[in-house]
């Protein structure tokens, strides 16, 4: 029986880790320098969302062993790519839109990560509680970002930074805890040779 290639899983896991670290770094940058140009923020967010959307789609189709971290990433991957394109083409005039869009997507991601945490508990993953706690914190910060989108730009940038930082830490902990790559993972459908035999006992 031919084993499934683990290359897509490795790409998805590494991509998730890299993008999560970049989200954390962007979050720290926005918190430390809240007066940063909205155009730079828009371009960074747009590119990051497109890339992370691609990574999420790769993760969804990689079919990792537990099927936990990537199970909702088909919808989220497409959503992030669409939002990323919108933001990238008009980064200067969409600050409020950026905050609302990211706030809603991160709130939804936090809610789905709560489901992933509970599923992880059933799988016996010891760090399920960490995913649960981070998901709740991230969801709450996402709500703050949605409702504070009309405040001053510098305060909004700080809240955006906190949101990206918490989202990065959440995704990092989720992918490290729940994505298990097994070299000899069998395919979902086991291929078999079907032999058609006539009533007279001859193979066809």
pLDDT tens-place string over residues 112-161: 889 889 988 888 888 899 999 999 999 999 888 888 766 657 788 888 89
Q: Where are the domains of the chain?
A: 7-178
* pLDDT tens for each residue of 71-95: 778 888 898 899 888 888 877 667 7
pTM (two decimals):
0.77
Percent of the chain with pLDDT over 90: 22
Model confidence over 23-62: pLDDT tens digits?
Answer: 999 999 989 988 888 788 888 888 989 999 999 898 888 7
Residues contacting residue 165 through CB under 8 Å, at least 6 positions apart: 23, 24, 27, 28, 31
Residue with tokens 């909702």: 72
The residue whose two tokens read 């040779």 is 193
């Amino acid at each position: 029986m031919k084993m499934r290639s683990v290359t897509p899983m490795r790409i998805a896991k590494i991509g998730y880790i890299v993008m999560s670290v970049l989200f954390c770094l962007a979050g720290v940058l926005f918190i430390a320098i809240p007066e940063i140009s909205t155009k730079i923020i828009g371009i960074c967010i747009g590119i990051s969302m497109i890339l992370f959307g691609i990574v999420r789609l790769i993760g969804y189709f990689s079919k990792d062993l537990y099927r936990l971290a990537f199970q909702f990433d088909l919808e989220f991957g497409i959503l992030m790519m669409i939002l990323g394109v919108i933001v990238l083409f008009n980064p200067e005039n969409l600050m409020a839109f950026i905050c609302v869009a990211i706030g809603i997507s991160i709130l939804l991601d936090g809610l789905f990560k709560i489901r992933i945490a509970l599923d992880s508990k059933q799988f016996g993953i010891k760090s399920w509680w960490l995913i649960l706690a981070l998901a709740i914190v991230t969801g709450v910060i996402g709500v703050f970002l949605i409702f504070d989108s009309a405040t001053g730009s510098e305060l909004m940038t700080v809240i955006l930074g906190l949101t990206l930082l918490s989202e990065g830490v959440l995704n990092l902990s989720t992918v490290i805890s729940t994505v298990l790559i097994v070299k000899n993972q069998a395919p979902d459908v086991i291929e078999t040779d079907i032999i058609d035999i006539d009533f007279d006992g001859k193979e066809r």
